Amino acid sequence: MASPILVLILGLTLAVGPRAMADPTLSHPPLTDQPGDPVRGLAVVRDASRASCLICHSIATLPDRDQGGLGPPLDGVAARLDAGQMRQRIVDARRVSPDTIMPPYHATAGLFAVGAKWVGQTLYSAQDVEDVVAFLMTLKD
């Protein structure tokens, strides 16, 4: 008979297995043919009606007060990630970091208790995502 410890280890491995497949280098292709507009992207980033990035992140070059500290500062993020990796985090950061608190801005699957009015809708449109990526790519240092 298999030892209970082995069964436990196997069970835990199966339970966490798919999560171990999360990939920080995961890249998402562009969502539109239209190149992103960084100026519009900054306005989207600040949009308090759609889970502003600044609730959780800080960007030292912005004058905005009460910037967040729950996520890493986004200063210099363009030196750490390329546009595809940046896009993947905005579209659905759970693919990169399964337990993340960062909202999936362009995904409709795997959400809980979504209000009837918002079922099937994303927080950001495809062009919003491209504009935000274009803005983030300006944060080189």
> Which segment (3-11, 26-34, 66-74, 114-122) binds ligand HEC by CB under 6 A?
66-74
Provide, rounded to whole angstroms, the least separation between the CB of residue 49 and ligand HEC: 13
Q: Which residue's entry shows tokens 């298999």? A: 2
Q: Which residue's entry shows tokens 């967040």? A: 68
Closest Cα partner for 78 from 13, 15, 19, 135?
A: 135
17/59 with CB nearer ligand HEC: 59
Cα–Cα distance for residue pair 116/21, rounded to 1 Å: 32
Q: Which of 55, 60, 111, 114 binds ligand HEC (CB under 6 A)?
A: 55
Provide, rounded to whole angstroms, the least separation between the CB of residue 63 and ligand HEC: 18
According to DSSP, residue 36 is labeled P
> Which segment (3-11, 32-40, 51-59, 110-118) binds ligand HEC by CB under 6 A?
51-59
Q: Which of 22, 51, 107, 126 binds ligand HEC (CB under 6 A)?
A: 51
**What backbone torsions phi and psi does residue 27 show, to the nearest 5 degrees?**
-125, 140
